[in-house]
Structure 1
Amino acid sequence: MSVALLIVFVFGYAVVDAAGPGTGGSRIFVADKTVGPYVLLVWAGPSPAQVGRYTVYARVNDAASGRQLREGIQVTVQAVEEATGEAMEAEANHTNAGNSLDYAAHFEPRTGNYTYAVTVAGPAGQAKVDFRDRVVPTITFGVISAIAGPFIVVIGAVVWYMLARRAEKR
């Protein structure tokens, strides 16, 4: 009974941990903020930001009517690495977002702290919001195995010991 409970706990915990926060979801940086003639929702992912593809999303509503703006505006995103001043700029569009509701721009940042500026320009005027995010190195299989390997060996030894002890009692 105790062996089964130990196995369920170990593997059950691994499943819960794999779905926990910080495993590649997105993070909201600007939540329905009225900026000039627009209401902006800005988020980015993955979270935590890692070296490789990083996507900034924006959803734009008209501040006066509340209507979502899906066309007739231009959304651009600029990323500036704070230490070096290196700048990248991309136009956000529906194709990158994968839907007709949102605008998205893709970046390939390196490790460092970045300031992202999202600018919306349209017939009603212009709006700009900034946010900061830190890009960390990608977690590789080698790092994961170095951390998890000893833990797996210890769990295996405990299970083997419990099974051997149980066999002795019979």
Structure 2
Amino acid sequence: MRLSIYDQGLAIVRSAYCVRKITTHYALRTTVGVLLTVFLFLVVAQPLFASGPGTGGSKIQVDNEAVGPYMLVATSPLPLTVGQMNVWVRVMDTAGENALRDAVVRIEATPAGGGEPVIGQATHQNAGNAIDYVAHLPVERTGNWDVKVMIEDELGEAEVTFTETVTGGISTGLIIGLGLPFVFLLLVVGVYMWRRSASAVEE
């Protein structure tokens, strides 16, 4: 059965509208996906930039230094931002040949300008192995901090100090500020696509 010229024209218009509708929907969905991906990256970036050794890098503070009866290696996060300071320590004998696994390692961090010290014990559990020691210390202030590593074992007691600088890092306000333009662009694209769809229906 052959369609009349009118029916054929109507079918062509409907097909064109369907194609336009599908294309518009696909473009809108793709745009939304891209914008959400970028926004989520900005949100996730904050904890990543504030991570300690193993993710954000580390800075050697004590490099095979003889401290009393021990040989020590100690590192801190790089960069170090407000939130958490992770101090990694390895304790060895003075020859630097054998790692001492049963030492008591404590870390004390004090704001250089004065304030209450933050004290934590470095453990193998935090390090994830039976050789190294790691302490997690909460730091809520920017500026210089005096960090003291205290070791106690059968060989005796020892301590070493170094200064660490804590920076502000990426704030939540900055992330929101970076994300707002993408949200605005998403709204503009959404309104534009909706108006195009409405115009197509009217035609």
Which TM-score bucket, shorter chain as reference? 0.5 to 0.7
Pairwise CA distance, 1:80: 1.4
Moved more, 104-113 or 131-140: 131-140
Contact kept, 8 Å, 1:82 with 1:112, in 2: the verdict is no
1:160 aligns with 2:202: no
The 4+ residue runs of structure 1 with deviation greater than 4 A are 44-47, 95-99, 135-140, 143-146
| The structure with more helix, counted as a fraction of residues | 2
1:42 corresponds in structure 2 to: 75
Look up the match of 1:133: 165
Answer 1 or 2: which has greater strand percent: 1
The 1-side partners of 2:46 and 2:62 are apart by: 22
TM-score (structure 2 length as normaliser): 0.58
Of 75-84 and 95-104, more deviation after overlay is shown by: 95-104
1:117 to 143, 148, 154: 148
SS in 2 for 1:69: coil
Runs (5+) with no aligned partner, structure 1: none
Tell whether the 8 Å contact from 1:45 to 1:54 is kept in structure 2 after alignment: no
Q: Pick the structure with greater CA Rg.
A: 2
Work out the number of aligned pairs and report it: 165
Task: Using the TM superposition, give the Cα deviation of residue 84 of structure 1 relative to its aligned residue in structure 2, in angstroms.
Answer: 1.8
Amino acid at match of 1:25: S
Q: For 1:115 and 1:133, how far apart are their aligned partners in 2? A: 9
Name the SS of the counterpart of 1:10 in structure 2.
helix
Tell me what 2:101 maps to.
Answer: 70
Q: Superposition pairs for residues 84-99 of structure 1, below 5 Å?
A: 84-95=114-125, 97=127, 99=129
Residue pair 1:46, 1:55 contacting (<8 A) in 2 also: no
**Alpha-carbon distance in 1 for matches of 2:176, 2:29:** 26
Report the aligned-residue RMSD: 3.9
Query: 1:40 is aligned with what amino acid?
Result: V
Q: Displacement of 1:35 after TM fit?
A: 0.6
Cα distance, 1:127 vs. partner?
5.5
Q: What displacement does 1:159 show?
A: 2.5
Structure 2 unaligned blocks of 5 or more: 1-25
Paired residue for 1:3? 28
Give the share of equivalent positions with the same residue, in percent.
18
Q: 1:13 to 1:97 in 2, by over 3 A?
A: same
Deviations 1:55-112 (A, max 9, x none): 43323344635443322x2322121111125434444333555653332334344323
SS of alignment partner, residue 130 of structure 1: strand
